[in-house]
Amino acid sequence: MKQNESIVMYVLRLAGTLFLITAVVAALLACVNAVTAPVIEELNAAKTQEAISAVLPGGFDTEITDFADETGIVSKVYQGANGYAVEVGPGGFDNTITMMVGVDNEGKVLGISIVSHTETAGLGAVAAAGTPKGIAFRDQFVGMGAENDILVEKDGGKVDAITGATITSRAICVGVNAALDCVAGLG
């Protein structure tokens, strides 16, 4: 009987110790989150503003909250004098690619800025890179509209996919098409 009681006490002591450690770590994580959350929010807002400036000359006046999106990947729409900046999040190879697509008042792509991604370095990440290859990839969308086949060449379109990153290239095409469709539904 004494041995069973000592085993029970041992298990309770271990469980109590683990609970205490878990509670302390959870409290520390909550404190760190409370300190870093506003900083992260500021950085994300700055990245969004930078992306809008990159794709929509003159910036935006208003954020449109009532827009149609059949794809489910359009998250925000900003309107300026020169057109719209549409934030989309198509699924890439690894995860969601958050990008801003500028669309002018005639429904043509003004530019693309990739805000965040987790694509494979050297392959899908090239789409967001400031290298000549990344810039050339994004620039090929400029001037395209809904009447264009915004698909990669493998799928019968006119977009030259990044070598070894067809899934990422397709995802960006999906995002651009969703942005164009959303803007077309606005006006």
End-to-end CA distance of the chain: 81
> Residue 135 sits in which domain range?
55-186
Let me know if residue 34 belongs to a domain.
no
C-alpha 94, offset from chain centre: 12
Tokens of 152: 């990669």
Let me know if residue 73 belongs to a domain.
yes
Give the whole-angstrom CA distance, residue 145 versus residue 167.
Answer: 21
Tens of each residue's pLDDT in the chain, 187 residues: 566 678 888 999 999 999 999 999 999 999 999 999 999 889 888 888 888 888 888 888 888 888 888 888 999 999 988 899 999 999 888 888 889 999 999 989 999 998 878 777 777 777 777 888 888 889 999 988 877 779 888 888 888 888 777 888 899 999 999 999 999 888 6
| Residue 153 confidence (pLDDT) | 83
Tally of domains within the chain: 1
- How many CB atoms sit inside 10 A of residue 136's CB? 12
Tokens of 116: 């965040």
Let me know if residue 35 belongs to a domain.
no
Percent helix, strand, coil in the chain (nearest 5)? Answer: 50, 20, 30
Let me know if residue 15 belongs to a domain.
no
Let me know if residue 37 belongs to a domain.
no
Let me know if residue 5 belongs to a domain.
no
Let me know if residue 172 belongs to a domain.
yes
User: What's the length of the chain?
Assistant: 187
Helix (H, G, I), strand (E, B) or coil at 134: helix
